[in-house]
Amino acid sequence: DAKTTQPNSMESNEEEPVHLPCNHSTISGTDYIHWYRQLPSQGPEYVIHGLTSNVNNRMASLAIAEDRKSSTLILHRATLRDAAVYYCILRYAGNMLTFGGGTRLMVKP
Amino acid sequence: DAGVIQSPRHEVTEMGQEVTLRCKPISGHNSLFWYRQTMMRGLELLIYFNNNVPIDDSGMPEDRFSAKMPNASFSTLKIQPSEPRDSAVYFCASSFGDRGNNEQFFGPGTRLTVL
């Protein structure tokens, strides 16, 4: 999988939106952009994925740059339960996930 | 569905002992993955099965590690003999299909401590 770059950590206030950036300048045309998160003492869980267009689901939104070299995961209203490590991962037409260091999101009450 | 089930949730053993970790994937899923997580190395993929056949085991650290999937509803990861550096959280995950747009479901993990 191509490499992604994320900030090590970010802070947010509760009830405010959070924008988690991810750079993936070597992305290929067939790479899907996936986001997973890992809550403390739990296994990773799927958040959202996209290919070219922006995506929304009940958990978050994914904004993908027009050139696809970067993307942003948007949590519209952060809660304390959203404190986790967020992983941005590129996947081509294979099954494997390659996890990087992710971004540790801290949410302040 | 109960999700991916792993057992045991915690295992403490002594160096040199055999350790067997177990995983039951979500019913209907045809891909199964074993990952290991440590503070130093983060989350690493150890091995990936598709339709019960090992597809990629390049992440298996050494011959002390072996994994089997005798049927679609059960997999084991065995370490023999175990060493202190094997201490980690081991996650099992499953998914359906083999395209880049499917979702992997992770189990709660097994925390292994080798003394």
A51–B101: do the CB atoms touch at under 8 Å? Answer: yes
Measured CA to CA, the distance from residue B6 to residue A26 in angstroms comes to 36
A1 pLDDT higher than 60: no
- Helix, strand, or coil here: A71? strand
Beta carbon pairs, A and B, within 8 Å: 58
Question: What does the block give as tokens for B38?
Answer: 């440590």
Q: Which of B93, B95, B86, B89 is nearest to B110 (CA)?
A: B89
* Model pLDDT for residues A66-100, shown as the tens digit of each residue: 999 999 999 999 999 999 999 999 887 566 788 88
- At A37 the pLDDT is 97
User: Which of B4, B45, B103 lies at the smallest CB-CB distance from A96?
Assistant: B45
Amino acid at the residue B54: P
- Distance (Å) from the C-alpha of residue B70 to the closest C-alpha of chain A? 20
A32–B93: do the CB atoms touch at under 8 Å? Answer: no
The tens place of each residue's pLDDT in chain B, 115 residues long, gives 689 999 999 999 999 999 999 999 999 999 999 999 999 999 999 999 999 999 989 999 889 999 999 999 999 999 999 999 999 999 999 999 767 678 999 999 999 999 9
Q: Which of B28, B23, B6 is nearest to B102 (CA)?
A: B28
